[in-house]
Amino acid sequence: MKQQNIRHLNLNDLEAYFLSIGDKKFRAKQVYDWLWVKPVQSFDRMTNLSKDLREKLKQDFDFPALQVDTVQHSEDGTIKSRFVTVEGYKTEGVLIPTEDRKTACVSSQIGCSLSCKFCATGYLERKRNLNFDEIFDEVALINQQSLETFGTKLTNIVFMGMGEPLLNYKNVLKAIERITSPEALAMSPRRITVSTAGVAKQIKQLGDDQVKFKLALSLHAANDKKRHEIMPINDTNNIKSLIEALNYFYKQTKNEITFEYILFNNFNDSLPDADELIKVYRQVPADLINIIEYNPIEFAKFTKPSPEKVEAFMSHLEKNRVNARLRRSRGKDIDAACGQLANKG
């Protein structure tokens, strides 16, 4: 018989379990704290429980947690971790430190099904969704890294790693519920950003579900023809439908929306491209456009524009009173930058 995953039990379930085996009710709170508050990834780490009780839990429950497989350190302080699931699948997460922030960039799927032409993950096959407790593990393990390396907890989380978060909707929302719960990591949802390649129906669903986190749309081209070339998802979720969905999301939640826009040399980096981007920006109550440096990958034909072209593009946005920020990539030397995650050890 398949054992039940212990993290699928709530506190009441755990209390009932301990009473059923003739143990004290308070054990439930001890175990619950090990699962969610000072999260560990194995029964053996639950040091205030007797060895016998830990063995009993192993017999009665499954605990399929992510484990750290490899860790790489960048010259700029960025740390990339490759995690491994119980059945041996690999996924990646990144800790991005700055002076005032420690940000975890986490994955939501093993591989990805969207095949965006500029992204290394897009060239991997999607094996499966990550479960909510595995996503929680990514955050807990990166938080631990932050404490050990920088002496401070995570301040922010971005769902910008491998996979499309809105195609793993339930697990992502449940993971965020655990991450933000006062009875778990107690992080503020305002410090969490979910980035999507644009699934209009699910963006509206986020509005209906009254989520509290921020939303980022990976736009990368501001007309359908170009966006279709690099992001096949645009076939079923064109820019018009995304503008409508983002407006609906904002009306329901009033949460912050940002656009992500990677600059590709001689593709979307001209001043007419900037004008098209401004036009889209004006139709949504977006807070910001993140202009992102392209990080070349071996499979793709794209290159990054010259610093002069980037400067001209940014100046044009500024002149048109667009709130835009140039995001310098971190962790490029260890393939940890935006679009580079591909499970390389």
Q: Which residues are catalytic?
A: 92, 338
3-state secondary structure of 20: helix
d(CA 127, CA 110): 5
- Phi, then psi, of 236 in degrees rounded to 5: -105, -10
> How many residues belong to the chain?
345
Cα 22 to Cα 25: distance, rounded to the nearest angstrom: 9
Expressed in angstroms, the distance from the first to the final Cα of the chain is: 36
Tokens matching residue 21: 């085996």
Q: Among 256, 339, 333, which Cα is nearest to 292's?
A: 339
How far apart CA 109 and CA 91 sit, in angstroms, is 8
- Is the CB of residue 213 less than 8 Å from the CB of residue 257? no
Distance CA 63, CA 78 (A): 29
Per the DSSP assignment, residues forming a β-bridge with 215 are 194, 257
CB 93 within 8 A of CB 81: yes
265 burial level (CB within 10 Å; 0-12, 13-18, 19+): middle
Q: Which residue has the tokens 């009173």?
A: 321
3-state secondary structure of 335: coil
